[in-house]
Amino acid sequence: MGGSSRVEVGVVGIPAQPRSASAASRSPAVPLLALLCACASAGAVEPAGVPPAAMPPIVEHLLPWSTDRERLTVSYLRAHRTAPLTGNAEVDTRMVPRAIVLHWTAGPTASSAWHTFAPALLAGRADLADAGALNVGAHFLVDRDGTIERLADETRILRHCIGLNHVAIGIENVGGGVELPLTEAQVAANAALVRGLAARHPIEVLLGHLEYRRMESSPLFEERDPAYRTQKPDPGADFMVRVRAAVADLGLAAPPPQPP
């Protein structure tokens, strides 16, 4: 893909250490169980060494972060955020993620999506051009077989969802629509990725791009231009139902209902 590097990153975790039979015989099960029960009843935290929810396997395939992209990002934020910027580009293009937005590419391959996002300048998007020259992008890309690519640092601000770019991680899914419906492998990969991200960041809301306008009443939403809105179908209502069901135990909020 454009000569960029791809590096496999394994699942985060701590491998179990094997015990010999003799060691096991010297460690009676009952006293240990009693100790764990006593700790639990006293409100003790998890034992040391137990990792949080692991990130799934991810292939590093980073988009270029150039001085042009940084400059265009700052310009976009200055035009659209209601909060003031600091004047430090490195600070102003960073975020604390509090939402995750799921998308689809409407294209057939991960390669075509990567090459669409890679340039700093927006091209071929008349519906977005008036709002700024910064190209769209995403933090992660999920292929149709469930392979996850990391496209950008999770704390870097990218243009992917009006009003929420400054707080939202974007996950793109290859395909979408009637011609290329998203797959069960993508449902599973999105759920695993959401689970891992929620363990790493203070994520409050999980939404599909088609739901973003329901966030306009949220304090997370910032957009100076009241006319800058789009209607989006991605990643499909059924896809959101399935991903939400898979991560229901996380208790992530959905956008509030659309006002009448």
**pLDDT at residue 6, rounded to an integer:** 46
What's the token pair of residue 163?
């009003």
Rounded percentage of the chain residues whose pLDDT exceeds 90 = 75
> What Cα–Cα distance (Å) separates residue 50 from each residue in 12, 41, 190?
11, 19, 23
pLDDT, position 26: 32
pLDDT digits (tens, 9 = 90+) for 208-231: 999 999 999 999 999 999 999 999
Contacts of 233 (CB under 8 A, 6+ apart): 177, 210
Overall average pLDDT of the 53-68 stretch: 96
Sequence-ordered strand ranges (E) for 105-222: 140-142, 148-150, 168-173, 205-208
Q: What is the rounded average pLDDT of the residues 94-104?
A: 98
**Cα dihedral sign, 242-243-248-251:** negative
What pLDDT does residue 120 have?
Answer: 98
Is the sign of the CA dihedral 113, 76, 204, 156 positive or negative? positive
Comparing 91-105, 187-201, 246-260, which segment has the lowest mean pLDDT?
A: 246-260
pLDDT at residue 260, rounded to an integer: 65
Residue-wise pLDDT tens digits, 22-48: 333 333 333 333 333 333 333 333 334
* pLDDT of res. 162: 98
Q: Report the CATH superfamily, name and number, of domain 58-250.
A: Peptidoglycan recognition protein-like (3.40.80.10)
Between CA 164 and CA 170 the distance in angstroms is 10
Sign of CA dihedral 135, 138, 144, 147: positive
- Please, what is the average pLDDT of the chain? 85
pLDDT reading at 196 higher than 50: yes
What is the pairing mode between strands 99-104 and 205-208? parallel
Q: What percent of the chain has pLDDT over 70?
A: 79
Mean pLDDT of 74-80: 98
Q: For position 52, what pLDDT does the model report?
A: 66
pLDDT tens sequence across 2-13: 334 344 443 333
Q: For residue 47, what pLDDT is reported?
A: 38
pLDDT in tens, 116-175: 999 999 998 888 888 999 999 999 999 999 999 999 999 999 999 999 999 999 999 999
Does the pLDDT of residue 252 top 80, yes or no? yes
Cα–Cα distance list, 189 to 158, 171, 172, 247 (Å):
21, 11, 11, 11
